[in-house]
Amino acid sequence: MKLTRRDFATFIAGTGAAAALGQLARTASAAPNGSYRAMVGVFLFGGNDGWNMVVPTDSRYAGYASSRGTVALAQNKLTALDGSAFALHPAMSALNSVWAEGALNVVLNTGTLYAPLNKSLYQSRSDLRPTNLQSHSDEQAHWQGLRARSDNFDGFMGRIADRAAQTATPALISLGGSNLAVIGQRSSPLILPSTGTLSRTGYSAGISAKNSAIDAFASAAGMGTIADVTAKQITSAYTQATTANSILTATSSVDAFFVNPTTGATLTSDVARQLLRVARLIEARSTLGHDRQTFFVTQGGYDNHSTQVNTDTSTGTHANLLGELAMALAAFYKAMKSMGMAENVTAFTMSDFGRTFRGNAQMGTDHAWGSNHLVVSGNLRPKLAHGIYPSTVLGGADDVSSEGRFIPTIAQEEYLGAIAKWHGVADGDLGYVLPNWSTWTANGRGPLGLFA
């Protein structure tokens, strides 16, 4: 990998500028209570248009509006973030108070990278690009597996669990199905539904001819790896379901926080239901014997090639999704505060990729690359926007096409790695959890300064 000193200087300067900006903000932050930590990754499937989730409100707004065209949001409708040059989408006002409390950070133009890139390097060195950029499946795998140029057969959360103590009920829990992120090589995740319970109909433990027969058909040893793995998955699922069910069916005080802040109605979106269950499982951490927990949560529907926005661009499919997300994250944060765990828990977004900056003729956007992300935690350095907002010029210095496909200036490793370190991944395990870690901890690169 040949990168000139000048190439790196750009990035170092960028990081420094972002850090300097951060110093203007309040720096007080509460410390975590004890050693327990939880990370909650919210994967926004389909490729969230982060350019409309976080919008500049200073002199850059004009460039934003003209380049985004059909999908641009009106400045006077945005959710202002006190003391910041950025605002959130109009539908995300539920997060305003979280920002005001210093528990929300914005991370700008982040994405999948194999090596630091600028436009000329991108053009001249295809061997430094992640493979199959703009492909949903490949970029999801790059985000979750963190191998940008080779096959991903496991994910970073699964690898964190591989290096942690194994508990009877796994401390890696997905509420959004089985996904690459939660696959490990020696650990298995607990995968729970966002609604409904888990009881095994008609089963009672104990010695019976029925149970003996069930046992006689429970193993597939010697029948091929897939059958063997499947048999073990079934057996462990039955055991885990019993424990999980007792938590999911109990009453909990956290439920009361998952309501619409305006109407008081119970939140019914899938992402809210998932985060509610995460809150319950955090509440039950002692019962489960978990001193660290890792959660994978999902929200789908972000692939908005058409009708991303309505005629009033502050409404439409994307506004609905972001409104659900904001209310769910805000509710989750309040629930954590209520149990004194706000400083011990960090929620953060991930997504396939960002969207083209230029809106298309069907009021939608197409696949792109870098995007903006959100982090919610009581342990953050307050009110920071990390990183560099790209030039909004289509075909300009940061665009690898003519529609606004921006080269990320923060790699997933710098973003997720900061959270993994905070979560407690030992220094010696960072290279296992984040296979390309060495690239992102050299030449002035390193984990983002998210935490106090």
Partner 1 sequence: MAVMQRRAGRLVVSFVALAALSACGGGGSSGGSGGGLVSVTPTPTPTASPTPTPVSTQDAVRLAQQATFGPTPDVVNRIVALGINGWIDEQFAATGSRYDDIAASTGVAQNFCTGSTDTACNRKYFSREPVAMRFYADAMVAPDQLKQRVAFALSQILVASETEVNETNGIAAYNQILLDGAFGNYRDLLMNVTMSSFMGDYLDMADSNRTAPSENYAREMLQLFSMGPDQLNMDGTRKLDATGAAIPTYTTDDIKGVAKALTGWTYPRLSGAAITDNNQRDYSKPMIEIATRYDTGVKTFLGTTVPAGASQSDSVKAAVEAAFNNASTAPYVSKALIQQLVTSNPSAAYVGRVAAKFADNGSGVRGDMKAVVRAILTDSEARGASRTGASDGKVKEPILLMTSLMRAVGMTTDGYAFVTQDSNLAQPVFRSPSVFNFYPPDYPLPGNTSLKSGPSKLMTTSNVTRFHNFVYNWTISGDQTRSEFTTNPGIPGWVGSKTEWGAWEALGTDTDAMIARINLLMMANTMTDAQKTALKAAAAAITNADATLQARRRAQMMLYIVGTSPLFLVDR
Measured from the CB atom, the residue of 219 and 287 that comes closer to partner 1 is: 219
> CA 16 → CA 12, 285, 445, distances in Å?
6, 38, 11
Q: Of residues 59, 202, 205, 265, which one binds partner 1 by CB under 8 A?
A: 202
Stretch that binds partner 1, among 104-112, 152-160, 372-380, 411-419 (CB under 8 A): 152-160
- Which residues are within 8 A (CB) of 15 and not within 5 positions of it... i.e. 6 or more apart? 387, 444, 445
DSSP 91-135: GGGGGHHHHHTT-EEEEEEEE--SS---HHHHHH-GGGSPTTTT-
Measured from the CB atom, the residue of 174 and 346 that comes closer to partner 1 is: 174
User: Within 24-53, which residues bind partner 1 (CB under 8 A)?
Assistant: 45-46
Q: Of residues 237, 259, 339, 393, which one binds partner 1 by CB under 8 A?
A: 237
The residues facing 386 across adjacent strands are 107
Q: How far apart are CA 110 and CA 348, in angstroms?
A: 13
Q: Of residues 9, 165, 166, 186, which one binds partner 1 by CB under 8 A?
A: 186
Count of residues engaged in binding partner 1, rule: CB under 8 A: 80
CA 334 to chain centre: 19
Pair 49, 354: CB distance under 8 Å: yes
x-or-dash string of contact with partner 1, 403-442, rule CB under 8 A = --x-------------------------------------
Q: Is 156 exposed, middle or buried (0-12, 13-18, 19+ CB in 10 A)?
A: buried
| Sign of the torsion formed by the C-alpha atoms of 173, 174, 180 and 181 | negative
Measured from the CB atom, the residue of 154 and 324 that comes closer to partner 1 is: 154
Q: Minimum distance between the CB of residue 23 and partner 1, rounded to whole angstroms?
A: 39
Helix, strand, or coil (residue 34): coil
Beta pairing class for 54-56 and 86-88: antiparallel
Stretch that binds partner 1, among 13-21, 101-109, 220-228, 326-334 (CB under 8 A): 220-228
Q: How many residues make up the chain in this entry?
A: 452
Nearest by Cα to 297 from 108, 43, 27: 43
Q: At 24, give phi and psi (nearest 5°).
A: -70, -20
- Interaction between residue 200 and partner 1 (CB under 8 A): yes
- Interaction between residue 131 and partner 1 (CB under 8 A): yes
Q: Minimum distance between the CB of residue 50 and partner 1, rounded to whole angstroms?
A: 18
- Interaction between residue 218 and partner 1 (CB under 8 A): yes
- Interaction between residue 123 and partner 1 (CB under 8 A): no
Pair 328, 19: CB distance under 8 Å: no
Stretch that binds partner 1, among 115-123, 184-192, 328-336, 440-448 (CB under 8 A): 184-192
Measured from the CB atom, the residue of 63 and 301 that comes closer to partner 1 is: 301
Q: Minimum distance between the CB of residue 220 and partner 1, rounded to whole angstroms?
A: 5
Contacts 24+ apart (CB under 8 A), 435-441: 435/146, 435/147, 436/114, 436/146, 436/147, 436/148, 437/413, 439/1, 439/114, 439/115, 439/411, 439/413, 440/411, 440/413, 440/414
- Interaction between residue 127 and partner 1 (CB under 8 A): yes
Q: Minimum distance between the CB of residue 18 and partner 1, rounded to whole angstroms?
A: 29
Q: How far apart are CA 305 and CA 284, in angstroms?
A: 41
Q: Minimum distance between the CB of residue 104 and partner 1, rounded to whole angstroms?
A: 29
Q: Minimum distance between the CB of residue 201 and partner 1, rounded to whole angstroms?
A: 4
Helix, strand, or coil (residue 15): helix
Measured from the CB atom, the residue of 281 and 450 that comes closer to partner 1 is: 281
- Interaction between residue 164 and partner 1 (CB under 8 A): no
- Interaction between residue 152 and partner 1 (CB under 8 A): yes
Q: Of residues 44, 54, 160, 192, which one binds partner 1 by CB under 8 A?
A: 192
- Interaction between residue 132 and partner 1 (CB under 8 A): yes
Q: Is 268 exposed, middle or buried (0-12, 13-18, 19+ CB in 10 A)?
A: exposed
Beta pairing class for 37-44 and 292-299: parallel
- Interaction between residue 343 and partner 1 (CB under 8 A): no
- Interaction between residue 352 and partner 1 (CB under 8 A): no
- Interaction between residue 249 and partner 1 (CB under 8 A): no
Q: Of residues 110, 240, 293, 379, which one binds partner 1 by CB under 8 A?
A: 240
Measured from the CB atom, the residue of 92 and 183 that comes closer to partner 1 is: 183
Measured from the CB atom, the residue of 62 and 227 that comes closer to partner 1 is: 227
Q: Of residues 59, 76, 225, 251, which one binds partner 1 by CB under 8 A?
A: 225
- Interaction between residue 168 and partner 1 (CB under 8 A): no
Pair 52, 71: CB distance under 8 Å: yes
